[in-house]
Amino acid sequence: QKEVEQDPGPLSVPEGAIVSLNCTYSNSAFQYFMWYRQYSRKGPELLMYTYSSGNKEDGRFTAQVDKSSKYISLFIRDSQPSDSATYLCAMSAGGNEKLTFGTGTRLTIIP
């Protein structure tokens, strides 16, 4: 079993829909959680960063962490064609414990 599981998709939704992207993990020591957006042939761009449990909102994006269920989510409201990309989750326990990445979910927003 992988330490971080992420559905690879592809996921296609119509423009304006709410998108939900998810990762599950097995290591209860993880306390730093990140979401990255990666456009084709580009490097990952940090979208959201949260520490421990709870919600964080930034514009159309909301990150949720549920440590009791070992489950994190990224919600995108009013999705736009420019949101079409691969979304990677990443997490770590901090300190010398390296970042662990999901394999990414490919998202397409259909105009």
Alpha carbon 30 to its chain centroid, in Å, reads 15
Among 102, 105, 107, 109, binds another protein (CB under 8 A): 102
Q: Which is nearer to another protein, 45 or 78 (CB)?
A: 45
Q: Is residue 59 near another protein by the rule CB under 8 A?
A: no
Among 63, 72, 76, 90, binds another protein (CB under 8 A): 90
CA pair distance 78, 94, nearest whole angstrom:
33
Residue type (1 letter), 87? Y
Give residues with Cβ within 8 angstroms of 30, minimum separation 6: 67, 70, 91, 92, 93, 100
Give buried/exposed letters for 94-106 (b at 16+ CB in 10 A, else e).
Answer: eeeeeebbbebbb
CB of 98 to another protein, least distance (A): 5
Spell out, one character per residue from 1 to 40, where the chain touches another protein: x when CB under 8 A holds, - when not: -------------------------------x-x-x----
User: Which positions touch another protein (CB under 8 A)?
Assistant: 32, 34, 36, 41-46, 49, 88, 90, 92-99, 101-104
